A = this chain, B = another copy of it.
């Protein structure tokens, strides 16, 4: 494993860029840091580690050393049950943190796989933890980020437990749209980085159901689908769908 990392480390250093200059700073780090604090954080964080499409950033069972922030690209995280069923637990885009599940058991419990060529920043957890004792805003930030993950998971539980296929897909598309918008990309038209099967796994549906539902939405004029390119045509219609049918 160590040897495999060496060629990467070269690129790693070439791409090095301080958090203080990073446009994603508001997403990853608390915004109340002063220059001195920022510098301390900068010194800990390893930046721009590239992960090729299809590669795993980490896998379930590997020892925990760091959290990872997506710098560019797109990831899925998934858990696998004892009998081999995969459940996608999340899709992660720039500025989002991965690996928080690993703190409790000291090893990762998910696989994190890049769905396109990506780069991540490495946050060595022990060091961050100890730095967060000196910088209250940083400590609070980590509590908040973990809390946000819990809230997000509850939202997925609501979706999986109560919603019908059409509502799930509509909610999924709206969620992606919103997250692209926050990052300055178009919220009305975007490229899906994942397969129908991965969407299905995340939403508790089979890939055929995902495909059928997207086709149905297109027939209804809600969206336009061209392979993985999605264009939202009637956002209000989609929103109504999410809050309409009784589950």
Q: Are A153 and B157 in contact (CB under 8 A)?
A: yes
Report the minimal beta-carbon distance from A170 to chain B, rounded to whole angstroms: 13
Contacts A87-B161, A157-B157, A158-B79 given; does A150 touch B150 at CB 8 Å: yes
Q: Give the number of copies in the complex.
A: 2
Query: Which of A10-18, A100-108, A215-223 makes up part of the contact surface?
Result: A100-108
Q: Are A150 and B154 in contact (CB under 8 A)?
A: no
Q: Are A101 and B157 in contact (CB under 8 A)?
A: no
Q: Majority SS of interface residues in chain A?
A: helix
Cα separation A82 to B133 with both chains bound (whole Å): 38
Partner of A101, one of B104, B142, B147: B147
Query: Interface 1/0s, chain A 109-149, versus B by CB < 8 A?
Result: 11000000000000000000110111010011011111111
Q: Is residue A162 contacting chain B, with contact meaning CB distance below 8 A? A: yes
Cα separation A97 to B175 with both chains bound (whole Å): 29
Report the minimal beta-carbon distance from A156 to chain B, rounded to whole angstroms: 6
Q: Which residue of chain B has its CB nearest to the CB of A89?
A: B154
Q: Are B146 and A143 in contact (CB under 8 A)?
A: yes
Residues of chain B lying within 8 A (CB to CB) of residue A130? 136
Cα separation A110 to B151 with both chains bound (whole Å): 9
The range of chain A's interface size is: 35 or more
Partner of A139, one of B102, B139, B146, B160: B139
Q: Are B103 and A147 in contact (CB under 8 A)?
A: yes
Q: Are B148 and A104 in contact (CB under 8 A)?
A: yes
Q: Are A143 and B129 in contact (CB under 8 A)?
A: yes
Q: Is residue A6 contacting chain B, with contact meaning CB distance below 8 A? A: no
Q: Is residue A243 contacting chain B, with contact meaning CB distance below 8 A? A: yes
Cα separation A132 to B138 with both chains bound (whole Å): 13
Q: Are B83 and A243 in contact (CB under 8 A)?
A: yes
10 nearest CB pairs, A to B = A103-B147, A153-B153, A161-B204, A104-B147, A160-B160, A104-B148, A87-B158, A146-B146, A83-B243, A85-B162
A-B contact pairs, 30 of them (CB 8 A): A81-B158, A81-B162, A83-B243, A85-B158, A85-B247, A87-B157, A87-B158, A87-B162, A89-B157, A100-B147, A100-B150, A101-B147, A101-B150, A101-B151, A102-B147, A104-B150, A105-B151, A110-B154, A129-B140, A130-B136, A133-B134, A146-B147, A149-B150, A150-B153, A153-B153, A157-B157, A161-B201, A161-B202, A161-B203, A161-B204
